[in-house]
Amino acid sequence: MLEAALLIAVVVVAASIIVTTLRTGIGPMPSSLAARKALVEVLPKDLEGPVYELGSGWGGLALAIARAAPRCQVIGVERSWVPLLWSRLRRRLSGASNCRFLWADFQQLPLGPAAAVVCYLFRGGMAKLSPKLLSELAPGTPVVSNTFALEGWTPEACVVVKDLWNSRIYLYRRPAR
């Protein structure tokens, strides 16, 4: 009986992740440890205010940012409930009081108050995000992306990470209007 319950739980969790992946076009893929470190290093050191991690997945990057930027309120935004619940558990266990995780579609979330935006999306997701960033963020707001560039934007910096994929970390600033 326990085996059947466990099997059902695994199937429900996997189905949930698969359905969300099909709906959003990308699964919850964690950033490598080296990429997380590089992303945190690229963020401005004097950052204060809300930092949004769009597509926060399993929570590792949001928690790393929260540790590195204690004057920031880090908001991880995720649409898949299994990684979201895992992230919330990790946050509780870490004691990171300046971090929280929302179950939301970041396209519907107002990003205007952001001190910075961080994301690890896919090419299509970045293309859809670009107009939102241009219309909502204040000029000069840092936008940091793991692996996928913002087409039409000029990066202020691009760091090649020494990980399995030679990930690229892009730092942009929202251009002036």
Question: How does pLDDT run along the chain (177 residues), one tens digit per residue?
Answer: 777 655 565 555 555 555 555 455 555 566 788 999 999 999 999 999 999 999 999 999 999 999 999 999 999 999 999 999 999 999 999 999 999 999 999 999 999 999 999 999 988 899 999 999 999 999 999 999 999 999 999 999 999 999 888 999 999 999 986
Helix (H) or strand (E) holding 75, with range, is: strand 72-78
Report H helices in the chain: 2-24, 33-42, 60-68, 81-94, 123-136
Local structure of residue 176 (DSSP, 8 states):
P
Report how far apart the first and last C-alpha atoms of the chain are (Å, whole number).
62
Provide the whole-model pTM: 0.86
Q: What are 77's strand-pairing partners?
A: 54, 102
Q: Cα(107)–Cα(129) distance, rounded to whole angstroms?
A: 7
As its CATH architecture, domain 2-173 has 3-Layer(aba) Sandwich (3.40)
Contact 114, 44 (CB under 8 A): no
